[in-house]
Every structure is written in structure tokens, then in C-alpha cells.
Amino acid sequence: MKTAAQALALPRSKALDFIELTKPRIAVLVLFTVAAGALLAQRGAPDVVLLVNTLFGTALVAAAASALNQLLERHSDALMRRTENRPLPAGRLQPVEVLVFGIALAVAGLGWLAVTAAHPLAVGVAAFTLVSYVFLYTPLKRHTTLNTLVGAVPGALPPVIGWVAVAGSIDREIVALFLVMFLWQVPHFLAIAWIYREDYGRAGLHMLPVVDPHGAATGRQMLSYCLALIPVSLLPALFHQAGPVYALGALILGAGFAKAAFDFLREKSPARARRVLHASLVYLPLLFGLLLLETWLRN
């Protein structure tokens, strides 16, 4: 017979499994970029209520995307050491539970944005982000190495959601941030894929490092996208959205990111790939932080 403590532990454990489905650590970065897009669009004192509502609705949509992604990838997740203990492959949650959970989150998130966003375009961008991530990027991982580029599109849209929720239009300033996010993701995800390439290969996922065992193509792509990121990151200064402090910071951050990718190209090792990954995680919040700081100072 179960003790009272055991009876309480069961639902608590299941609740944690549902939380794990939402990938909270990734959600933090997503919401940071949503907030950045919204704050940059406001060009002054933030509308706190609109910002909070946009973040909440987007958080629900992002959680839905993560849950439905894991539902579709449950069989491949079971074959990888880094994911075999996720709630679905470990058998702690059933597919129908996750399906209902994911759909409920998606409906709630899009509905929340529809009711609270100042402009309906935010709902359309959020819906496209969800659909392209779950139904394009996720299945393509089993068929082509181009999945990284396809996945970089929904990955680059969160700041656009924040921007259009406030501004109601897609302007050149947010296009520049979209391009920064798009280019940034390629070396970021290639670094992860190199570190876990054996896992991806075991699961039959077509990541570039799986079909590029010596890493030459992986290294070239990492460096190429890092180099392309440098001039693109200067567009906010060109558009007078930011000034020389941001431009200098963008150059320094871009050079550091590119140096990490160049080091990987010279020595293709997990340690070098981790440095690329760490450089990417330093680059993005600092770049967005500089842009926000300069925008506020100029206004």
C-alpha cells in the first residue's frame, strides 16, 4: 500500500515531466528575444501590460512547440543518450497526454495573443513559428542536412513577434534582427550537432556533422555564417537604430565568435565545438543588450 508521501510524489513527478516538455531553459532565451523586439519597437517607455501579455502568450506557444516536437521525435529521442530519459521515451508520459497538452498550449497561447496584442499580425507570426518548427523543421531532421537552415527561420522569429505586437508592421529594423538571429543559429546548432554527432547518427538524424565525419564542411559553414554575421549585425547602426558604441561592440563580439569558429575549423574537436557553443551563448544576449541600451540612450 502506498504511503501518503508516495501518493503525493506521483502527481508532483508527473507535473515536473510536463514542465520538462516545455524546455524551460530554451524558453528563457526565446522570451528574452521577444522582449528585445517589443522594447525596441516601443522606442520609449515600455507598455508593461502589453509586454507581459506578449511574453505570456509567446511562452505558451513556445511550450507547445517544444512539447509537440518531442511527441514527433519520441522514437529518435529513445535512441540518443542525451534524450533517452525525456518523459516520452522513458515512458513517464503517454503520447496522447502530450498531444492534448501541446494542442491546449498552442490554442491558449495564440488565443491569448489574439486578445491582448495590439496588432493581430503577432498572432500570425507566432502561428507560423509554431507550424514551421513542428511540421517542417522537425520531420526534415530525418531527411536532409538543410534542416538546420529551415529550423533557423522559426528560431529567428521570436523578436519579430515582439516587434509586430507593438508596431503592427515588419520594418527594416526588425528584418535586421531576424537576419542576425538566423545567421547566429547556424554555428550555434552546428556546434551542438558536432558535440552530439554520435547520438544524432544513432538516431538516424541528418545533421551535417553526421554526414561530415571529418568536420571540414561543418567548420567552413560555422566560420562562413559567423563572418556573414558581422556586417549584418551592423545594420542597426546603419539604420540609425543604434550608434558607435553598439557598432564597436558588435564588431568585437562578432570577431570573438568568428575566432571560436576558426579555431574549430583548425582543430575539429568536441572541446573546440563547446567553445563555439559558449561563444554563441555570450554573443546573442550581449549584442541585444547593447542594442537595447543604445536605443534607450538615444531616445
The domain boundary, picked from 125, 145, 170, lies at 170
Confidence tier at 240 by pLDDT (50, 70, 90): confident
In which residue are the cell numbers 563555439 written?
276
Q: How many domains does the chain have?
A: 2
Tell whether 150 and 204 lie within a shared domain.
no
Tell whether 144 and 181 lie within a shared domain.
no
Report the C-alpha gap between 137 and 281 in whole angstroms.
Answer: 22
What pLDDT is attached to residue 47? 85
Residue 45 pLDDT exceeds 80: no
The domain boundary, picked from 170, 202, 220, lies at 170
What pLDDT is attached to residue 46? 76
Q: What is the Cβ-side half-sphere exposure of residue 166, based on CA atoms within 13 angstroms?
A: 26
What pLDDT is attached to residue 295? 81
What pLDDT is attached to residue 11? 54
Report the C-alpha gap between 50 and 56 in whole angstroms.
Answer: 10
Tell whether 132 and 27 lie within a shared domain.
yes
The reply to whether the predicted model has a pTM over 0.75 is yes
Task: Over range 192-213, report the average pLDDT.
Answer: 93
Tell whether 184 and 284 lie within a shared domain.
yes
Task: Over range 263-267, report the average pLDDT.
Answer: 96
What pLDDT is attached to residue 14? 84
Give the count of beta carbons closer than 10 Å to the beta carbon of residue 75.
11
What pLDDT is attached to residue 299? 65
Tell whether 165 and 177 lie within a shared domain.
no
Encode pLDDT of 276-299 as tens digits: 999 999 999 999 999 998 887 766
The domain boundary, picked from 170, 192, 215, lies at 170
Tell whether 8 and 93 lie within a shared domain.
yes
Residue 4 pLDDT exceeds 50: no
What pLDDT is attached to residue 8? 41
Task: Over range 83-87, report the average pLDDT.
Answer: 93
Tell whether 117 and 227 lie within a shared domain.
no
Tell whether 205 and 106 lie within a shared domain.
no
Nearest to 36 by CA among 296, 298, 288: 288
CATH number at residue 51: 1.10.357.140
Report the C-alpha gap between 163 and 291 in whole angstroms.
Answer: 14
Where is 244: in which H helix or E strand? Answer: helix 244-266
Backbone phi, psi, residue 188, to 5°: -60, -50
Tell whether 27 and 138 lie within a shared domain.
yes
Residue 7 pLDDT exceeds 60: no
Confidence tier at 43 by pLDDT (50, 70, 90): confident
Q: Which domain does 247 fall in, by range?
A: 171-299
Where is 222: in which H helix or E strand? Answer: helix 216-233
Tell whether 74 and 183 lie within a shared domain.
no
Confidence tier at 44 by pLDDT (50, 70, 90): low
In which residue are the cell numbers 552546428 written?
190
What pLDDT is attached to residue 147? 94
Report the C-alpha gap between 86 and 193 in whole angstroms.
Answer: 18
Tell whether 195 and 164 lie within a shared domain.
no
Average pLDDT over the chain reads: 92
Backbone phi, psi, residue 77, to 5°: -60, -35
**Cell numbers for 240:** 540609425
Report the C-alpha gap between 240 and 16 in whole angstroms.
Answer: 45
Residue 12 pLDDT exceeds 60: no
Tell whether 138 and 258 lie within a shared domain.
no
Nearest to 154 by CA among 189, 120, 119: 189
Beta strands in 23-101 (DSSP E): none
What is the three-class DSSP state of 143? coil
